[in-house]
């Protein structure tokens, strides 16, 4: 065994471990295990009942085991007696096909077999709200253009500093924190890294932000569109593909004819994302609420900052994909509800499909999509709601081939049930628009 967690517990004075996993809906679940039992758990895994989580299982299924990945260990900076571990799910001696971290690892293994190493960074936006989530926590945060508002940022300095200090201590390389485009909204950035490491950190970041906000008597939310008139929570990802050793960026080509600094490999990868974008939306924008962000009306600040069509551009934030710099692109479609593993599994699967099939993303568009959308002729529209997106995912041959029928079927089934539950609720809108029919 490469890393002995029992030994690490002794040397780092860890008393408890959180053996955690993320289910298909992105919910973080865990068992809190005393250090005396970690040796056994490292081998066998912690036991869970799969039906109790958002996985397509029944109460009759046998025990599911979360086998911790020792490389994912994070010692909580604010509670150093606790070590957090990401786990992979196993049942009957096999990995659970329809589980998010396993799905991402499989896509990364496919990439590695083809000689690629996927590197990513994520930008997780969040709001600080009141305890019941219906209003901002800071009543003085009222500017119509609040982005980078220093006064509002510094009123939240204690909690922002506690989160950034934690990332510094963990060696994530945080480099900037800001007030984002909506009142009450913030973003904190740390260095990009290998895709799995970034996904594990993304999971932990959400837990950390919620926990440290609670310690400051605040509530953090990553909900895609918590307030109808304000910019929503995006979760943009910066993506590049390197050679196996990580010494050469295979997306970089200074001689690119479109002058975006992208290689033929990068364009094929992009082509795969453009080709599969509508189906990917079910993974990138996984909630009913998500579609109020990507198909939203202009916000109080003047822009939604989110895409509504499948287009790519240079350094232009009105398109679904932005190329801010040579050798990488920023995918701007995902929102704060996106499952950290499934979103990366999704774009990696689509990118590899693009490379395998030499898919052409078409020409870059340089118009302002918010002001002059007609200039991007033939641009595909994104799904208008979760049900449309789920149906497109269900029918997607490339994503089924890459992610497996078991995962797609489980996801489609559970999300369709969620849609039915939502659709069964009578809304005020229905009453106002139908009562006098
Ligand atoms: Mg942002």
Query: What is the CA(123)–ligand 1 centre distance, in A?
Result: 6
Tell me how many degrees the CA angle 244-84-214 measures, rounded to the nearest 5: 120
Decide: 66 and 43 in contact? Cβ < 8 Å.
no
CA distances from 134 to 7, 291, 293 (A): 46, 19, 17
Q: What is the pLDDT of residues 137-149, one digit of tens each?
A: 999 999 999 999 9
223 C-alpha to center of ligand 1: Å?
14
Q: How far apart are CA 155 and CA 120, in angstroms?
A: 31
* Region of 171 on the Ramachandran plot (φ > 0 left; ψ -120 to 50 alpha; else beta): left
Map residue 310 onto helix, strand or coil. Answer: strand
428-to-58, 175, 313, 375 alpha-carbon distances in Å: 35, 44, 39, 37
- Token pair, residue 119, equals 């590197």
Q: Which helix (DSSP H) or strand (DSSP E) does residue 52 occupy?
A: none
Query: Residue 337 C-alpha to ligand 1 middle, in angstroms?
Result: 15
Task: Tell me how many degrees the CA angle 186-190-196 measures, rounded to the nearest 5.
Answer: 115
pTM comes to 0.97
pLDDT at 295: 83
Judged by DSSP in three states, 130 sits in: coil
Low-confidence ranges of the chain (pLDDT < 70): 1
CATH class label, 106-431 = alpha beta
Assigned token pair, 105: 């690892």
Q: At which residue do the structure tokens 């039992």 appear? A: 37
How far is residue 188's CA from residue 55's CA, in Å, rounded to a whole number?
31
Q: 129: which strand partners?
A: 136, 219
What gap in Å lies between CA 364 and CA 378, rounded to an integer? 13
pLDDT for 296: 85
54 Cα: distance to centroid of ligand 1 (angstroms): 29
Phi-psi region of 301 (alpha: psi -120 to 50; beta: other; left: phi over 0): alpha
Measured in Å, residue 234 CA sits from the centre of ligand 1 at 7
Distance CA 139, CA 281 (A): 34
CATH of domain 7-91: 3.10.20.70
Question: How far is 388 from 386, CA to CA, in rounded Å?
Answer: 6
Q: For residue 244, what are the contacts with CB-CB under 8 A and spacing of at least 6?
A: 112, 115, 116, 117
Taking the centre of ligand 1 as the mean of its atom positions, its distance from the CA of residue 38, in whole angstroms, is 39
Q: How far is the CA of 180 from the centre of ligand 1 (A)?
A: 6
**Predicted local distance difference test score (pLDDT) of residue 365:** 95
**233: CA distance to ligand 1 center in Å?**
8
What is the spatial distance between Cα 180 and Cα 175, in angstroms, rounded to a whole number? 15
Going by C-alpha positions, the residue among 282, 317, 262 that lies closest to residue 123 is 317
Sign of CA dihedral 324, 329, 232, 276: positive
Q: Which DSSP letter does residue 137 get? A: S
| Ligand 1 centroid from CA 122, angstroms | 10
- Per the CB < 8 A criterion, the answer to whether 391 and 302 are in contact is no
Q: How far is the CA of 208 from the centre of ligand 1 (A)?
A: 19
Closest CA to 315 of 260, 370, 266, 265: 260
Distance CA 66, CA 31 (A): 9
Phi, psi torsion values for 180, nearest 5 degrees: -90, -165
Instruction: Return the C-alpha torsion angle 137, 143, 147, 149, nearest 10.
Output: -80
Q: Can you give the residue ranges of every domain in the chain?
A: 7-91, 106-431
5 C-alpha to ligand 1 centroid (Å): 37
Rg (Cα) of the chain, in Å, rounded?
22
CA of 224 to the centre of ligand 1 (A): 12
Element holding 60 (H helix, E strand): none
Distance between Cα 287 and ligand 1 center (Å): 20
Residue 16 burial (CB count, 10 A): 17
Annotate 21-45 with b (16+ C-beta within 10 A) or e (fewer).
Answer: bbbbbbebbbbebebeebeebbeeb
Residue of 123, 73, 143, 142 whose CA lies nearest to 237 = 123
Residue 136 CA to ligand 1 center (angstroms) comes to 18
**How far, in Å, CA of 156 to CA of 150, rounded?**
10
**Residue 297: per-residue pLDDT:** 87
How far, in Å, from the CA of 152 to the mean position of ligand 1? 16
Q: Give how far Cα 402 sits from Cα of 118, 281, 347, Å.
A: 16, 16, 11
pLDDT of residue 99: 96
How far, in Å, is the centroid of ligand 1 from the Cα of 143? Answer: 17
Centre of ligand 1 from the C-alpha of residue 120, in Å: 16
Expressed in angstroms and rounded, the spacing between residue 125 Cα and the centre of ligand 1 is 6
- Tell me how far the alpha carbon of residue 300 lies from the centroid of ligand 1, in angstroms: 16
CA of 31 to the centre of ligand 1 (A): 33
């Amino acid at each position: 065994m490469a890393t002995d967690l029992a030994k690490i517990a002794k040397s780092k004075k860890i008393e408890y471990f959180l053996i955690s996993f993320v289910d298909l809906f992105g919910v973080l679940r865990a068992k809190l295990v005393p250090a005396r039992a970690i040796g056994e758990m490292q081998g066998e895994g912690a036991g869970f009942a799969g039906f109790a989580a958002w996985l397509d299982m029944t109460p009759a299924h046998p025990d599911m085991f979360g086998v911790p990945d020792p490389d994912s260990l994070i010692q909580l900076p604010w509670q150093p007696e606790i070590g957090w571990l990401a786990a992979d799910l196993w049942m009957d001696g096999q990995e659970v096909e329809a589980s998010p971290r396993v799905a991402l690892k499989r896509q990364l293994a496919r990439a590695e077999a083809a000689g690629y190493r996927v590197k990513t960074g994520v930008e997780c936006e969040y709001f600080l709200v009141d305890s019941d989530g219906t209003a901002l926590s800071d009543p003085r945060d009222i500017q119509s253009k609040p982005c980078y508002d220093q006064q509002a940022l510094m009123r939240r300095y204690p909690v922002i500093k506690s989160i950034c200090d934690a990332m510094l201590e963990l060696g994530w390389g945080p480099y900037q924190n800001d007030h984002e485009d909506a009142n009450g909204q913030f973003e904190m950035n740390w260095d990009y890294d290998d895709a799995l490491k970034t996904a594990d950190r993304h999971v932990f970041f959400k837990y950390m932000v919620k926990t440290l906000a609670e310690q400051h008597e605040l509530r953090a939310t990553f909900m895609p569109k918590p307030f109808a008139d304000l910019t929503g929570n995006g979760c943009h990802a910066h993506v590049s593909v390197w050679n196996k050793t990580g010494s050469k960026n295979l997306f970089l080509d200074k001689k690119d004819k479109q002058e975006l600094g992208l290689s033929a490999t990068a364009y094929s990868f992009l082509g795969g994302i453009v080709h599969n974008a509508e189906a990917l939306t079910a993974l990138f924008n996984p909630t009913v609420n998500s579609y109020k962000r990507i198909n939203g009306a202009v916000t109080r600040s003047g822009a939604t900052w989110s895409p509504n069509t499948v287009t790519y551009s240079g350094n232009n934030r009105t398109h679904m994909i932005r190329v801010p710099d040579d050798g990488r692109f920023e995918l701007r479609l995902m929102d704060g509800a996106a499952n950290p593993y499934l979103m990366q599994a999704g774009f990696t699967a689509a990118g590899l499909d693009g490379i395998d099939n030499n898919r052409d993303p078409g020409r870059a568009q340089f118009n302002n999509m918010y002001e002059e959308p007609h200039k991007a002729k033939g641009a595909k529209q994104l799904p208008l709601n979760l049900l449309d997106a789920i149906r497109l995912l269900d029918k997607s041959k490339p994503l089924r081939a890459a992610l497996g029928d078991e995962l797609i079927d489980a996801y489609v089934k559970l999300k369709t049930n969620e849609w039915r539950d939502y659709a069964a609720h009578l809304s005020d809108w229905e009453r106002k628009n139908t009562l006098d029919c």
